[in-house]
Copies of this chain bind each other. A is one copy, B any other.
Amino acid sequence: MTDKFIEQIKKTGAPVCVGLDPKLSYLPECISKKIFSENGLSLESAAEAFYEYNKAIIDAVKDLVPSVKPQIAMYEELGVPGLICYRNTVRYAKEAGLIVIGDVKRGDIGSTCASYANAHLGVAQLTFGARVHKEETFAADYATVNPYMGSDGINEFLKTGKEFDRGIFVLVKTSNPSSAEFQDLETEGEKLYEKVARKVSEWGEASVGKCGYSDVGAVVGATFPEVGKRLRELMPHTMFLVPGYGAQGASGEDLKSYFDKDGLGVVVNSSRGIIAAYKREEYAKYGDAGFADAARAATIDMIKDLRENS
């Protein structure tokens, strides 16, 4: 899968992932007013509005970027209708030719992770006597995964990923302020996130592709630029999924050390900065009805910023 991902990054010249993290407060009135007036305010109508919003954003950026990343928490909050929207968003984005990273941050003990892996990277496999039924549910191309419980859960994701040619991004150093509390603890002469990085590199060894990168990537926040260089050394064959660009404070210049010498190995995520761009002063001219054009313009500007610094 990662060969394909790197290929699409090269083709678009854009190491970018658009975060599909909808919130009611981001919705343009041209969507919310119509849907909530006609159908009332409910979990179902909110999920319908999210889906309309996501489709318009996907259509506006699909020729510019290789990938999108829906954050499942925003959908889970809306219960069952929200998860129908999540599933449909994953499918719509895949059909648009985009690589989809399911930002699910799942993690558990081995046998339980097998179920999560089936849900997010594989298929539900039902057997009863001689009958077998297989069906995809929420499967994306990649899933984000939490490492706290160690290898035996991760191995289930690797097994399913191998079977379906899909990958994972493991949390290494996250972009939030309190990430230091545990991730930065010193252990055996290095930080915990460096230990996790070594494991991530190890977990990926078996799946390094022609592109030089494995199917086991790392989540490395954009908000700690000094960390990027060290993690690049520890994980030379690991794709970095980098959240925290834009709204969370980081710019292209902060990310120079994350890229390899060919300007590859990284995909930078921006969510609010793109999907709610029409609310930012710089893109206000697009107006409410031009929210998708504003998202496109913000994506183009982000790509330019990254090209100047990769």
Task: Give chain A's interface residues, CB within 8 Å of chain B.
Answer: 21, 24, 32, 36, 41-43, 46, 71, 73-74, 76-80, 82-84, 87, 105-110, 112-113, 115-116, 118-119, 124, 126-128, 131-133, 135, 137-138, 146-153, 171, 174-183, 185-188, 192, 195-196, 199
Which residues of B sit under 8 angstroms from A71, Cβ to Cβ? 108, 112
Which residues of B sit under 8 angstroms from A115, Cβ to Cβ? 73-74, 76-77
Which residues of B sit under 8 angstroms from A84, Cβ to Cβ? 80
Q: Output the least CB separation between A35 and chain B (Å).
A: 9
Question: Are B153 and A181 touching (Cβ within 8 A)?
Answer: no
Pull 13 A–B residue pairs with CB atoms less than 8 Å apart, ordered by A: A42-B126, A42-B133, A74-B115, A77-B115, A105-B107, A107-B146, A109-B174, A146-B148, A150-B178, A152-B178, A153-B178, A182-B195, A192-B192
Which residues of B sit under 8 angstroms from A21, Cβ to Cβ? 112
Known: A126-B41, A153-B176. A116 touches B73 (CB 8 A): yes
Q: How far is the CA of A100 from the CA of B170 in the complex (A)?
A: 30
**Nearest CB in chain B to that of A112: its residue:** B73
Which of B46, B119, B127, B149 is in CB contact (< 8 Å) with A176? Answer: B149
Nearest 9 pairs of A and B residues by beta carbon: A79-B137, A150-B178, A150-B181, A109-B176, A73-B115, A77-B115, A185-B187, A152-B178, A151-B178
**Nearest CB in chain B to that of A244: its residue:** B109
Question: Are A150 and B109 touching (Cβ within 8 A)?
Answer: no
Q: How far is the CA of A21 from the CA of B115 in the complex (A)?
A: 11
Known: A150-B181, A151-B178. A87 touches B80 (CB 8 A): yes
**Nearest CB in chain B to that of A149: its residue:** B174
Question: Are B199 and A24 touching (Cβ within 8 A)?
Answer: no
Give 18 new A-B contacts, CB below 8 A, not counting A82-B124, A109-B175. A41-B128, A41-B132, A41-B133, A42-B133, A43-B124, A71-B108, A76-B115, A76-B137, A77-B118, A77-B119, A79-B87, A79-B137, A148-B148, A149-B178, A149-B179, A149-B183, A151-B178, A152-B178
